[in-house]
Chains A and B, each alone.
Chain A
Amino acid sequence: MQIRVIPGSSAAIYRQIADQVRRAVALGELAIGDPMPSVRALAKELVVNPNTVAKAYAELIRDGVLETQPGRGAFVAKRRSVYSKAERLRRLDEALETAVSAAVTLDFTSEEILARMRSKLEDLM
């Protein structure tokens, strides 16, 4: 997978990295057990501060997307639910709220938004 960072965007660079890894895992571009580049290697490749990459990895490890094996670095983790149902619902609502409010301010109808949503879901699942 190819990660790209864009400075000057409304998403912080660590967030861009974390989101792209999450997406690659969801799309199957990264499979369970795939090794991730080391923090230093990725920092060099993307030309970003190593702490920024470390922060993205820490978040992905906390959320169970990646796991570390002592001495061997980070790998894509088996998908497991680290959150309770209630917490998952809360996170889903939070994500939807952002998307929905953005969509509404762009003047789309509910049908149009739902149709786009359905096609995105079909791409992923």
Chain B
Amino acid sequence: MSDTHVIRTERLTRYFGRRSVVRELNFTVPRGSVVGLLGLNGAGKTTTIRMLMGFLEPTRGSCEVLGHDSRRLTPEIRARIGHTVEGHFLYPWMRVRDCERFGRETHPKWDGTFFEQSVRRFGIDCEAKVSWLSRGQRAGVSLASTLAGDPELLILDDPALGLDPVSRRALNETIIEFCESGERTVLLSSHLLDDVERVADRVALMVDGRMLVDSTLDDFRNRVAAWIVDSTDNPTINHTIPGMVHCRSLGSRWHITVADPSEATVQAIESIGAHVESTDISFEDAVLAYLSRSRVGHSFYTGATS
């Protein structure tokens, strides 16, 4: 049902020249969720967002937002989507007050009080000129302008890039407050895993244009497991471990991370022979495991294959 999913893509694909940047994406975002969109630079996150917003034509496949094809979004539907671009572009000659007026005149629904509240949270003076603002403050104005339009769906493209810790906290607080009714949906692309762990309840993880993970945060965590093995030499030289993502040295012990471990994985690890124990991993470990595996395919990595 399009009503329970505010974003839906079907085999969404985009080429730039001969290079595929987004490949066969089947991705859905349920209403009311906060989705952390993760991936290395160049994984296809921004290209996906631009196709969702209808700024870029898919080469193949399709995508819809709020139940409407992204290629044919009317101004009325667009008004229900809030979108901030990477870097938080604003007209530099405006004062913050002008940004508020600009927003009021370009949005059918406009909540001036919310704008002022958000701006205050970022410690911004309404008389200040946009060109005087710090990056964090610019993010604040851009976010306030987007949220005051009362969107149902908020798409934030790396909003935390280059923000100081205080602005980052203000950003997180603003997102939590925005979604507290459970009716609004957020798609948040970010590299800050701690912040994503806090504010998101779903993860979508892209690697080389493909979406490898699209699930709740907890399910995702449960898919990745780790073991600690006592061994003087790297145990993966003589043992192939199915699903292995990463093996790093902890002195005389080795920390092995595995995605979707199978019976065969457990057997392989136990067959190393030395003392073996399974260990807990953090959300960050789990994400890094997936992202570092992505480097396996096309770089220096020649060890055990995954």
Contact A43 B197 (CB under 8 A): no
Contact A44 B280 (CB under 8 A): no
B: interface residue count bin: 20 to 34
Partner of B280, one of A7, A10, A48, A51: A10
Which of B193, B217, B285 gathers the greatest number of chain A CB atoms within 10 Å? B217
Partner of B200, one of A8, A12, A47, A49: A49
Return the chain A residue nearest B34 by Cβ. A49
A102 to chain B, nearest CB (A): 9
Q: Flag whether B172 is at the interface (Cβ < 8 A).
A: yes
Given A44-B180, A50-B176, residue A8 in contact with residue B201 (CB < 8 A): no
B219 to chain A, nearest CB (A): 11
Return the chain B residue nearest A50 by Cβ. B180
Q: Flag whether B179 is at the interface (Cβ < 8 A).
A: yes
Contact A44 B173 (CB under 8 A): yes
B227 to chain A, nearest CB (A): 13
> Which residues of chain B are within 8 angstroms of A13 by Cβ–Cβ distance?
197-198
A83 to chain B, nearest CB (A): 23
Q: Flag whether B182 is at the interface (Cβ < 8 A).
A: yes
A114 to chain B, nearest CB (A): 21
> Which residues of chain A are within 8 angstroms of B283 by Cβ–Cβ distance?
7-8, 12
Q: Flag whether A105 is at the interface (Cβ < 8 A).
A: yes
Interface residues of B in 274-299 (CB under 8 A from A): 277, 279-285
Contact B173 A48 (CB under 8 A): no
Q: Is the interface of B mostly helix, strand, loop or mixed?
A: helix
Q: Flag whether A52 is at the interface (Cβ < 8 A).
A: yes
Contact with A along B203-242 (1 / 0, CB 8 A): 0000000000000011001000000000000000000000
Given A7-B194, A13-B197, residue A48 in contact with residue B176 (CB < 8 A): yes
Given A8-B282, A10-B282, A12-B218, residue A50 in contact with residue B179 (CB < 8 A): yes
Q: Flag whether A11 is at the interface (Cβ < 8 A).
A: yes
> Which residues of chain B are within 8 angstroms of A11 by Cβ–Cβ distance?
280
Q: Flag whether A2 is at the interface (Cβ < 8 A).
A: no
Q: Flag whether A24 is at the interface (Cβ < 8 A).
A: no
Q: Flag whether A5 is at the interface (Cβ < 8 A).
A: yes
Partner of A44, one of B176, B193, B200, B284: B176
22 contacts between A and B (CB under 8 A): A7-B198, A7-B283, A7-B284, A8-B197, A8-B282, A10-B282, A10-B285, A12-B217, A12-B283, A14-B218, A43-B180, A44-B173, A44-B177, A44-B180, A48-B199, A49-B34, A49-B176, A49-B201, A50-B180, A50-B182, A101-B277, A105-B277
Question: A-B pairs with the 3 shortest C-beta distances?
Answer: A10-B280, A7-B194, A7-B197
Binding site for A on B (CB under 8 A): 34, 169, 172-173, 176-177, 179-180, 182, 193-195, 197-201, 217-218, 221, 277, 279-285
